[in-house]
Chains A and B, each alone.
Chain A
Amino acid sequence: MTDILLETQGLKKYFNSPAGEVKAVDGVDLIIRQGQSFGLVGESGCGKSTLIRTILRLLEPTEGKVFFKGRDINSYRKNELLKLRKEMAMVFQDPHLSLNPRMTVFDTISRPLKIHGLARKKQELLVQIVELLHTMGMQAEHMVRFPHELSGGQKQRIGVARALAVEPDIIFLDEPTSALDVSVQTKILKLLEKARQERNLTFFFISHDINMIRVVADVMGVMYLGKIVEIGPKELLLSDPLHPYTQGLFQAVPEPDPDKIIQEVQLEGEVPSPINPPPGCNFNPRCPFVWDLCKEVEPMLKELEDERRVACHKY
C-alpha cells in the first residue's frame, strides 16, 4: 500500500446566503494515496468544486482538517501557503475563462516559474516553457500567442502546462474536458495520463461525466449533496455499485451492450436544497430502499472489504 498523500477529516464548507446556510461541503473524509488517480463524480451543485477549492485553501474551510503529507495545512501561514501552492496545482473547467486574456502564453506559464523561483533568467524560462509546451504537444511558436489566438483545446493544454510548471505532487482537475469537443477531450486526457506517469503525479479529478471518470480514474468516489456516499476501486464500483444513489447514477448512463441486464433503480425527484437537507440520510427522499432509520440517523462512511467504503444503512 502506498503512502497517504492527502487526507481530509470532517471537512465542511458552509456559505451564508439570505435563505440560510448553504452546506456545500458537509463533512467529507477522504484519503488520496501517492500516485493515485482519484475521480469524484456527482451531479452539478453537489459540492465537488467547493470541495477541491477548500482543500486547496482557495476557500477557507468552515470546519474540519486537511492533511497534506501528514501536515495540517489549515494552520499554514503565508510562507507555508506559498510553498503549498507549489505542491498542489489546479486545472480549471473552462479554458476560455481560466487564462488571463491580456497575457501571452509565455507570460502565463512563466508566472508560476517566477513566483516559485524555478527559473529566473529569461533563457531558463524559455527552456522550461518550451519543454512544457512540448510535453503538452504544442510548439514553441505558441508562446507568443494570446489566449484568443488559440483554440479551446490549446488553451486547456496551456492550463495544464501552467499546472505542471511548478512540478506539483498533486493536480486537481475541475472538469478539465467538459468545455471541449469530444475529439479534443480524448487528446487532453491522453496527454494528462502520460504526464502523470512520467512525473509520478497524483490526480484528483472531479466531474459530472461518469464516462470521463471511468477512463481516467483508478479510484472512484461518488458525492451527493455535500457528502461522499461511496468510495472504492473503479472496477468494483462500476461492476457492483453499493449505494442506491451510485446505482441510480450509473443507470442514467446509456448502456452500449443491449444484452446486459439492467437492474431498475431509477433516480426520481430532484436533489434537495443544500440549505435545508433532509434529516437522517441526505438521499432518503429519493431512495427506493428507504426505511425508518434512514429518516433519523445519518449513515457514516463504513469500511467494507477491498478498500471500499459506503455510507448507507443497508450495509
Chain B
Amino acid sequence: MNTAVNIENIEKEIKELKQKRTSQLFLTWLRFKRNRLSMVGLSFVLVIIFIAIFAPLLTPYDPYDTNPFRRLENPSREHLLGTDELGRDLLTRLLYGSRIALQVGILIVLFEGFIGITLGLLAGYLGRWVDEIIMRLVDILRSFPVIILAMAIAGIMGQGLYNVVIAIGLVGWTTYARMVRGKILSIKESEFVEAAFSIGESTPSVILRYILPNVLPTAVIMICIMMPTALIASATLSFLGVGVQPPLPCWGSIAAAGRDYITRAPWISTSAGFFIMFTVLGFNFIGDGLRDAFDPTSKRN
C-alpha cells in the first residue's frame, strides 16, 4: 500500500547517501581548515614542496658547481646567502636540499610505517606468542638511544641515502607498532566487534570492515606525526657524517660543514638549521591538526 511512497523515498535516500558519503571526508577537511595552526603548517609544507619541484627554476646556479676563487663569500646580490667553503652558492644548495629532505623523510615514514603497522596489526590481533615476540623486539630496540643505534646501523651498512632510510626505519617502526597494537587491542575487545560476530560476520570481514577502518586514521596521523622525527633523525645523521654523502646537498651536512666557519660565516649553519626547522614545524602542525580533525568525537572548538 505504501510501497509507492517507499520507492520514491528510496530514490531520494540513495542520492542523499552519496552526498553524505563525500561530505564525511569534506567535514574532516573543514575541521582541519578551522585549525589555524594546521593551515600554517600546510602552507609551510606546500612552500617546501614547491621549492623541491621548481628548484632549478628558482636559482640560476648548479648546486654542485664549485668555484675555488669565490669561497665563503658574504651574502651579496649575486649570491643571496653567500657561498660555502667550496664556492658553491649556498641558497641553491639549500633549495636543492629540500628534495633530499622530502625524499628521505617520505621514504623513512613509508618504510617504518609499513613495518610498524604490519607488525602492530599482527601483534594486536593475533596476540599470544606473536605479540610476545614482536613487543619484546620493540622493547629491545627502544632500549637503545635511537640516534646511536641508527649510527651503528649506518656505520655497518655504509653511508648513502637508502642506508639512512633503513637505519632510521629499523628503529622508528617501534613507535608505529606500539600505537597500532594498542589501538587494535582496544578495538578487538569493543562491543561492536562482538556485535559483528553475533550477527555472523566472519573473521576476515571483521578485520576488514570493523577493525581496519578504525585503525586507519591512527595510522595516517602517526605517519604525519613521525615525519618531523624522521627529518630530524636524517639531518642528525648527516650532521654527524654518517648520513647522506657530502656532495649531495643535504641540510644536515650543510649545517655540519658550516660549523667550521661559524664565526666567519654564521649564516651557513643557521640558514640550514632554519630550513630544517621550517619543514619540521610545518609537518608538526599538520600532524596535530589531522589528529584533531580525524577524531569525530573531539569537541574542542
Give me the interface of A with B, judged by CB distance under 8 Å: 53, 56, 58, 82, 85-86, 89-90, 92-94, 97-104, 106, 111-112, 115-116, 122-123, 126-127, 130, 140-141, 143-146, 148, 159, 162, 165-166
Contacts and interface: CB of A to CB of B under 8 A. Distances in A.
A94 B13 CA distance: 28
Nearest to B194: A58
A166 B199 contact: yes
A127 B4 CA distance: 11
B191 A140 contact: no
Q: Which of B17, B195, B200 has the most CB of A within 10 A?
A: B195
B10 A127 contact: yes
B199 A122 contact: no
A156 B73 CA distance: 73
B199 A143 contact: no
Contact of A162 (B10, B195, B297): B195
Contacts of A53: 194
A56 B200 CA distance: 11
Contacts of B214: 100-102
- A-B complex: 10 closest residue pairs judged by Cβ atoms: A85-B200, A102-B213, A98-B191, A112-B199, A97-B191, A144-B20, A126-B10, A90-B198, A100-B192, A115-B200
B10 A130 contact: yes
Q: Which of B6, B24, B213 has the most CB of A within 10 A?
A: B6
B263 interface: no
Given A98-B195, A99-B192, A127-B6, A104 B201 contact: no
B69 to A, nearest CB: 64
B274 interface: no
B199 A100 contact: no
B36 interface: no
Contacts of B24: 146
B198 A111 contact: no
Given A92-B194, A93-B191, A102-B214, A143 B13 contact: yes
A146 B17 CA distance: 11
B199 A162 contact: yes
Chain B's interface size range is 20 to 34
Contacts of B190: 97
B191 A143 contact: no
Contacts of A101: 192, 214, 296-297
Interface in B139-195: 190-192, 194-195
A24 to B, nearest CB: 16
Nearest to B190: A97
B6 A144 contact: no
Contact of A100 (B7, B196, B296): B196
Nearest to B3: A127
B197 interface: yes
Contacts of B14: 122, 126
Contacts of B201: 111, 115
B301 to A, nearest CB: 15
Nearest to A149: B296
A127 B13 CA distance: 11
A162 B214 CA distance: 20
B13 A115 contact: no
Contacts of B65: none
B16 interface: yes
Contacts of A122: 14
Given A103-B213, A140-B10, 8 more contacts: A56-B198, A99-B195, A100-B209, A111-B196, A112-B200, A123-B10, A126-B10, A127-B7
A93 B190 CA distance: 12
Contacts of B196: 100, 111
A94 B3 CA distance: 34
Given A130-B6, A143-B13, A94 B191 contact: yes
A122 B11 CA distance: 11
B210 interface: yes
B297 A148 contact: yes
Contacts of B3: 127
B9 interface: yes
A85 B198 contact: yes
Nearest to B195: A98
Interface string B52-79: 0000000000000000000000000000
A141 B16 contact: yes
A97 B6 CA distance: 31
A146 B209 CA distance: 15
Contact of B192 (A90, A97, A115, A116): A97
Nearest to A126: B10
A140 B14 CA distance: 11
Nearest to B15: A144
A116 B296 contact: no
Nearest to B19: A144
A101 B213 CA distance: 9
A159 B24 CA distance: 22
B297 A144 contact: no
Contacts of A98: 191-192, 194-195
